[in-house]
A = this chain, B = another copy of it.
């Protein structure tokens, strides 16, 4: 397709998520997964076992010296800004795992630096690259659901507590980026409530509400304390409803025909079972692929074609602004907190 020479990629952070990036960049065409960096020698040794041809280093400065074109950061949130800024200033294209930064000021600074250096800045909102979310987008865009009037998302599981951030910072970026991508709208205000139990400052459970200027409401339930892993979003439209269950292997998306009806009177307990009514249900086939591969490919394409990535810096910034507002609401006992966006954003 292209005659451009292969892009050389560096990855910083080989903990939980970094190895997935390394594996996926290795499988991209016209790309060399050249060097990875971590402060833990055991992790580097492990990477070397798995991928002997990839260079390893404990010092991220070596990535610049290695002549890479682009870097992907899979490091703790607090390092996203300093590392991202340094690589942008060194003229590298930068991919950062979500959330893009720990504050909107940091996010805005990265965006401006990328613009100044004419480099690609992309955030890892992986769900925007899944087959399921893109199927939902095409369904919503077709008008089949009508206007979206209510969204409910449940993203809960047991454990994986982060030390440096609360559950909203950890899990809600997924919901927020998905919803912003699908609705192409941003909330005007946010409420949140939660609690932290294990003697920590960071909330392990939280309920966030996003309010839109057209009356649409979205509930985001995030938790590290629930025994069952749930990844479910309900989109209620004025015409039809859609349920997206990311855990289900073969029924990820269900579309429900409207069927609100008052049941007839019933005379005994047995008939009571029949009183709720639904219309037909339709489960479209989804052509699955690994979303991270699509995301890595999109990053490379954006560099090669000098185009704005779907999940660009502004997208990352919007998510951070909403999360900041949610956290402010948390401290104000659930008070509604408005969210304002930059004029210069698309």
User: Which A residues form the contact surface with B (CB < 8 A)?
Assistant: 15-16, 19-20, 23, 26-27, 43, 46, 49-50, 52-53, 149-150, 152, 156-161, 189, 191, 193-195, 197, 204-205, 207, 209, 211, 215-217, 219, 221, 223-229, 234, 236, 238, 241, 243, 247, 249-251, 254, 256-257, 259-263, 265-285, 288-290, 292, 333-336
Contacts and interface: CB of A to CB of B under 8 A. Distances in A.
A159 B221 contact: no
Copies of this chain, count: 4
Given A191-B333, A193-B209, A262-B159, A241 B227 contact: yes
B221 A160 contact: no
Contacts of A15: 265
Given A270-B290, A336-B333, A149 B226 contact: no
Given A195-B215, A260-B159, A269-B20, A278 B227 contact: yes
A287 to B, nearest CB: 9
B150 A205 contact: yes
A146 B231 CA distance: 27
A290 B267 contact: no
B290 A279 contact: no
Contact of A265 (B16, B160, B273, B277): B16
A243 B228 contact: yes
Given A197-B215, A225-B241, 7 more contacts: A26-B50, A152-B156, A191-B191, A195-B215, A270-B271, A282-B283, A334-B336
A261 B159 contact: yes
Nearest to A272: B270
Given A159-B261, A197-B149, A19 B266 contact: yes
A197 B256 contact: no
B209 A334 contact: yes
A229 B334 CA distance: 28
Contact of A285 (B150, B247, B279): B279
A157 B276 contact: yes
A238 B198 CA distance: 9
A108 to B, nearest CB: 28
